[in-house]
Chain A
Amino acid sequence: MDRKTTNNGNAYSDETIRRFLLGALSGTEQASFEQSLFTNDELEERVRLAELELSDDYAAGRLSTPERDLFEAGFLLTADRQQQLNVSRAMQQTLSFQSPARVDQSVMARVVNVFDLRRHAWKYAFAALILMLLLGAAILVTKQRLRITQRHTSPTPVTPKPSATAVPQPAHHATNSGSPSHTEQPPALPLHEGLTPSVVLNSNTPLEAAPLIRTSGEVVTIELRLDAPLADFYDVKVMTTAGESVFITNGIKRTESETLGVSVPGSAIESGDFQIVLLRADGDSQPNAGTYFFRVK
């Protein structure tokens, strides 16, 4: 590490520079060094850096006892050097507590450093957070008070409750005993989340809304609602949504209620998203009869 530079025949090691800064050079060495410092820019830079290093070493407690004594007696003679030492101490506190592992180049180390609570930025952040919480609490209290005040000053109009009449009134009830017909329809059951091995599928149901089947049995019975134009026979191809064919059956006859019953082995559709491609097998009309989606848990 020790480095030497030549200027007018003189060579200065890092150790000499350090001794110069601590005022420990002999008279002859001192005069020569001063002359060189005024004429050699490279030496000047080295002295500047060594000055900082000396300050850092002192702050870190790395100086030998004689060096420390010289430092304390003769180094801190200028305001600049005192400020350097202040920064050295701050750096020592901020950076030196980190172990080598913690300042590893990994992203994790950087993140840990950012979230280190000893960083002063966090102190300011916490102070700001506390201020914000106090401000928030004050706003809430004010709003609550305002609400209470409004409740007391402007009551909301209330519909008067019916009260019993003093005189009996004739009641106009219907005289016949037949009850009116109830026209309300029961709500349709959701198509999805049907945890059953038997399911009815529509071709217009997208995958996101497709029913969920739990394959508990060996065979899953699927009933497909057919779209027009109808054919008498259909070919059925069961595939994953990625297009991988898992089960094929041909020539299935449709029922009178315009549906098609398909029995698919549970082992072919263990879990995932599936589609059934239905093809008309009579050759009279367009072969594609629709795609049906379902999911298996």
Chain B
Amino acid sequence: MSAAKQLKELRQQDFDRLLLWLDDDRERAGILYEKIRWRLVTILAARGCTLAEELADETIDRVARRVSDIQATFVGDKAIYFLGVMNNVHHEYLRRPPLPRLIEDNQGLENREQIHFCLDSCLEQLAPYARQLIERYYAADRQAKIDLRKVMARELGIKTSTLRLRALRIREKLQTCVESCLETVSEARP
């Protein structure tokens, strides 16, 4: 067995062990894993780290490798454990010489077209109520937008803060839908 293959298998074993440590139910463990990763990335980005995603993955890798040692004795919030490891990883990153920041231009014409296509498609998939709400919430500009949102909240008999949450939840669904659509489009390409 090659060294690379051994390493890959080892990582898969570590990862499976990590999921089991997070939760006995593999589906719930998967959701928890995604949440932890998102939190790590968000915190690292808020610290101004230009490699937030890489460092989050490095953090998870380190925890996964340590699970076999700690799982029998660990007490406390497992998610917090990740935060501690992440702090170490981040300190190491800060000691490295700064790398030039690569800005990926993923806003090419084709990508823009695909995003618009997917957005239209996702808007079509929304329930009529949700679609109407998001269209009105994002309509108009500046003061007109603020006024419109007040009118909408009054019409719905809710506070503007509740309206904001409702609209943003629909916006979140749209984001997920568009990303999923873009993946499908790119997979369908030869």
**Using a CB–CB distance below 8 Å, which chain A residues touch chain B?**
1-3, 20-21, 23, 25, 30, 34-35, 37-39, 44, 47-49, 51-53, 56, 60, 62, 74-75, 77-84, 86-87, 89-96, 98-100, 102-103, 105, 113, 119-121, 124
* Residues in chain B near residue A39, CB distance under 8 A: 77, 79-80
Give CA–CA (A93, B104) in the complex, Å.
Answer: 22
Q: A100, B45: Cβ atoms under 8 Å?
A: no
- Tell me whether A77 and B50 are in contact in the complex, defined as CB-CB below 8 angstroms, given that A86-B115, A91-B119, A95-B138 are known contacts: yes
**13 further A-B pairs in the complex, CB-CB below 8 A; given A87-B174, A96-B138, A99-B144:** A34-B83, A37-B39, A38-B36, A38-B77, A49-B169, A52-B175, A53-B168, A74-B46, A82-B104, A83-B106, A86-B107, A95-B134, A95-B135
Chain B contacts for A98, CB-based, 8 A = 135, 139-140
Complex partner residue of A44 from B39, B141, B174, CB under 8 angstroms: B39
Report yes or no: B45 in contact with A77, Cβ–Cβ below 8 A.
yes
Q: List 8 A-B contacts (CB under 8 A).
A: A1-B161, A1-B164, A23-B48, A25-B46, A90-B112, A103-B132, A103-B135, A105-B132
Known contacts being A30-B46, A95-B138, A99-B139, is A120 close to B116, with CB within 8 Å? yes
With A37-B43, A77-B50 as known contacts, state yes or no: A62 contacts B142, CB within 8 Å.
yes
CB of B136 within 8 Å of the partner chain:
yes
Is chain A's interface secondary structure helix, strand, loop, or mixed overall? helix
- Look across to chain B and name the residue whose beta carbon is closest to the beta carbon of A104: B136
B171 and A56 within 8 A (CB)? yes
